[in-house]
Homo-oligomer: A and B are copies of this chain.
């Protein structure tokens, strides 16, 4: 098992997809997370025991590591910190203050300092992303394209302050910008928009932040995103070609066709 793959598993279906494509991989996660994996597929560690986690990966012969799915940031119990985690704590705290990307850049740096190479899920499974074009549903109209352009403009404005992988615009009006709570929470928020404020269905635009390292927290959509977008009354979704993960692609496309929602992949 030279060059064995390690998977740091977060939420959602991506860890299972990577494991299915790389059955020899060693999968680790954090205790308390609601992972979409069987107990025998993953070894879980306390967030305070990063030293033990890295030792486990090393003992398993892992040389390459992929981060897959969101890891919520649980509170750390200072009394439980192992020596490595304790030594990293000041940098962890500083990274957290610097926004989402700051945390993820730090996580990549930390894993590489431990001697592993960090790779992106899209490098392992290129089929997980989309080439430019219409993936599903009816072709977007001019009003949709205008809403997509406005949402991209909003996300571009936010990139320098490290906020926002997603934005909803309907009839030129911004109905929501993704924050820490994620895309599903954004779509639930949009679903609650009073009818009298709403003009047209609107679109969800989901893209990596400009300059974002795709090896960490690559944006993803899955069948659940489609259902949530449908409940939010949207007409479609625009994603960045080659830079957004499609989870359960076949089902995702079937859900779109059934709901009459488009998915458009746009080049950067």
Q: Which residues of chain A have a CB within 8 Å of any CB of chain B? A: 72-75, 96-100, 146, 150, 153-154, 157-158, 160-161, 163-164, 171-177, 179-181, 185, 189, 192-194, 196-197, 199
Contact = CB atoms under 8 A, between A and B. Distances in A.
A72 B197 contact: yes
A181 B163 contact: no
A98 B189 CA distance: 23
A194 B171 contact: no
A97 B95 CA distance: 39
Contact of A177 (B160, B177, B185, B192): B177
B174 A176 contact: no
Given A96-B171, A98-B172, A175-B180, 20 more contacts: A72-B194, A72-B197, A73-B197, A74-B196, A97-B146, A97-B172, A99-B174, A100-B173, A154-B158, A154-B161, A154-B163, A157-B158, A158-B158, A164-B177, A173-B179, A174-B179, A175-B179, A176-B179, A181-B194, A185-B189
A52 to B, nearest CB: 21
A160 B163 contact: no
Q: Assembly of this chain: how many copies?
A: 2
Contact of A160 (B146, B157, B173, B199): B157
Nearest to A177: B177
B157 A153 contact: no
A235 B73 CA distance: 21
Given A161-B153, A161-B157, A185-B192, A197 B180 contact: yes
Contacts of A74: 196
A197 B174 contact: no
B72 A172 contact: no
B185 A174 contact: no
A188 to B, nearest CB: 8
Contacts of A196: 72-75
Contact of A193 (B73, B146, B174, B180): B180
Contacts of A153: 161
Contacts of A199: 73, 96
A181 B160 contact: no
A180 B173 CA distance: 7
24 contacts: A72-B194, A72-B197, A73-B199, A75-B196, A96-B172, A97-B171, A97-B172, A99-B172, A99-B174, A100-B173, A154-B158, A154-B161, A157-B157, A157-B161, A163-B177, A173-B179, A173-B180, A174-B180, A176-B179, A180-B193, A181-B189, A181-B192, A185-B189, A185-B193
